[in-house]
Amino acid sequence: MSERVEPAERLLDLVIALANTPHRMTKSQIRRGVNGYADAKNDAAFDRMFERDKEALRTLGVPIVTLTDAAHEDDIGYRIDTDSYDMPPVAFTPAEVGALSLAAEVWQDSTLSAQSRRALTKVRAVSELEDAALHAGLALRVRGPDANFGALLDAIADRITVRFTYRAANTGRTKQRTVEPWRLYAKDRGWYLVGHDVERAAEREFRLSRIVGRVSRIGEPGSVQVPDRASAHREAPIIRATLALRPERASALRARAIEIESPTAGAEPAQAAPAAQVPRPSDRDVIAVDISDLDLFAEELAGYGDAVLVLDPPRLREAVLSRLRPAASLGGES
C-alpha cells in the first residue's frame, strides 16, 4: 500500500502541473497525473479534494483559470495563468541593496541570521551593484546579549559567587576575578555586571564583552547578599578615535562623527603627524568618534576593510590589525 501524500505536497504538485500544461488539464487528467489524487476513494471524494485545493490556491493568490472546449462545452479543464503568476524581472539599485542590507543585518544575532544572509546574497546577485564593499558597514549592527549573559543572570538569581577571567580596559591585561554578582544593566551599547569584587573588597563594574572565556560558579547558592541600594553607576572612560575614511564610504561611522574634514582637491600633502599617529592621507575624510569599548569598536572597524584607516589611538589601530591579519594570511599575504 502506497504512503499517503501530504496536502502541502499535493498542492505543490498541482501548481507544477497546471503551470506547465501546454493548454489545460481536465479533472480526469489531474486525477491520473498529479501526485496525491489517487488517494481519493471515489469520484465524489476526488471532487471534494480538488475543489478544496483550488480554493486554497486561489486564496494564496495562485491564478487558476477554467477553460472549456470550443466543441464540447462540458469538457472543462484548468491551468494557471502564468502571465499573472510569474514575477517580473528583479532589479535593485545600489541604494536599494544598501537598504536591504540594513534590514538583513538587524537579524545577525538571531535565528534568522542564515536565512537573511542567503536572501541578501541572492538580491546582490541580480542587482546592479558592482562593488559590494560600497555598503560594508552601512547596515545597523544589532548585537545580542554577550555569551555569559545567561550564566550571570542565573548566578544573580541563585545568589552564588562567580569567577571569570577579565581583560582590563586601560591596560588590556587579563586577570582572574572573583565576584559576588548583584545586578546587570545595559549602557553604551554593552552589558555591565555590578557586584562585590572579593579580592579588592569593594564594589566594581565589569563589562561583559571584556570577560574572556566562560563564567564559573563557586560556593553555595544563597551565599551572596545583594544590597538594597548600590552606588551609582560609574561613567565608562571615553576614548576619542580618529579615523580616515574613503570618500562616500562607511556611512554608519559618518553618522556618529563628531568632526569631519573633507579632502580638498589639489591640497598639499598632510604634515607629519605626531609619533602616536600615522600620517593623515590627503585623499580621505578624517573624522573623530567617541567610544567607550575599544575592543568592540575594533571588531566593528575590521568589517570595513580598507575603507577605514585608524589614525589614533595606537591601541585601537593594533586591535583592528590583529583582527585583519588572520584574514590577510589566508590570501598568502603577511
**Dihedral sign computed on CA atoms, order 206, 211, 215, 219:** negative
CA–CA gap between residue 267 and residue 226 (Å, rounded): 61
**Neighbour-count burial for 66-105, b at 16+ CB within 10 Å, e otherwise:** eeeeeeeeeeebbbbeeeeeeeeeeebebeebbebbeebb
Q: What is the pLDDT of residues 65-104, one digit of tens each?
A: 888 876 666 678 999 888 777 767 767 776 676 677 666 6
2 confidence band (pLDDT: 50, 70, 90):
low
298 confidence band (pLDDT: 50, 70, 90):
confident
Q: How many CA atoms lie within 13 A of 99 on its CB side?
A: 4
Tell me which amino acid residue 21 is: T
Q: For residue 314, which of 277, 285, 279 has the smallest C-alpha distance?
A: 277
Residues in the chain: 334
Q: What is the pLDDT of residues 228-252, one digit of tens each?
A: 765 555 556 788 999 999 888 888 8
Grid cell in block for residue 78: 484548468
**Which one-letter DSSP state was computed for residue 307?**
G
Tell me which amino acid residue 292 is: S
What domains can be seen in the chain, in order of their start residue? 7-85 (1.10.10), 94-135 (no CATH), 149-218 (2.30.30), 239-325 (no CATH)
190-197 and 202-207 as β-strands: parallel, antiparallel, unpaired?
antiparallel
Q: For residue 304, how many other CB atoms are within 10 A of its CB?
A: 21
CA–CA gap between residue 226 and residue 53 (Å, rounded): 62
pLDDT score, position 113: 59
Q: Does residue 29 carry a pLDDT above 50?
A: yes
Higher pLDDT, 107 or 280: 280
CA–CA gap between residue 262 and residue 248 (Å, rounded): 11
